[in-house]
Copies of this chain bind each other. A is one copy, B any other.
């Protein structure tokens, strides 16, 4: 059994806590939250605390707090010869300020408490200072997911930027599409199959191969018509991405 303490009660901490409770090979010995009310619901299942000085003995301490609290929280941990990991895509290993061994356990997915998640399909990116710790992390990761990757701090930062494009920015494209539909009394659901197909397509084609549309075809007539129907902010975004696609496929406006 791997003994785990989870520090945090946000979206990721919530889902990780559930996964640890579900597993027969993981002993979730304690959950910490600054606000004890957030974790009262766990009282019957594990030890809870709001005092970082009262942490119990464990193999791995998982810090699942917001990025800007990681340095502060880790600096307060009075642990030695223990493995302390954070769960952030944007933060380097060395930003952990604990005295103990350091590692990263980064599940690459977008979490919200209200939405059920199949953890087994979530890629877990792990990193540690030494091989022994990496093995422990790998063992833990494989207990909750089928997809485990060794990713260095530098790689993880790039992966995080990449995730901003394929998740945050993609969602903003959905937002603009929705906005255009709303202004024209068109049900946004008409676009659902296209959205679905677009994301599925890159399972069998590279995004370079999968590209279609007026920008790739350099169909300037359609591009001009589209621009004339958009507001200023939509136009700016339309122009810039169209230019980027045109340059990629060797066509200039």
Contact = CB atoms under 8 A, between A and B. Distances in A.
B171 A202 contact: yes
Interface string A219-252: 1011001100110010011101100110110000
A138 B105 CA distance: 54
A213 B177 contact: no
Contacts of A187: 149
Contact of A175 (B163, B208, B225, B233): B208
Nearest to A193: B121
Given A165-B180, A178-B207, A237-B240, 14 more contacts: A108-B190, A112-B212, A147-B193, A151-B186, A154-B184, A158-B181, A160-B226, A163-B191, A166-B173, A167-B198, A168-B216, A171-B207, A171-B211, A174-B210
Interface residues of A, number: 87
Nearest to A161: B226
A96 interface: no
A235 to B, nearest CB: 11
Contact of A225 (B157, B163, B178, B202): B157
A112 B229 CA distance: 28
A196 B193 contact: no
Contacts of A244: 172, 233, 236-237
Contacts of A195: 166-167, 170, 199, 202
Contacts of A109: 193-194, 197
Contact of A168 (B112, B163, B185, B211): B211
B213 A175 contact: no
Q: By CB atoms of chain B within 10 A, which of A151, A210, A216 has the most?
A: A210
A178 B167 CA distance: 13
A174 B207 contact: yes
A201 interface: yes
A155 interface: yes
A155 B231 CA distance: 16
Contacts of A168: 211-216, 245
22 contacts: A90-B214, A110-B197, A110-B201, A123-B193, A155-B185, A157-B225, A159-B181, A159-B191, A160-B226, A161-B180, A161-B226, A162-B178, A163-B191, A164-B214, A165-B174, A165-B180, A166-B198, A168-B245, A170-B199, A174-B210, A192-B202, A195-B202
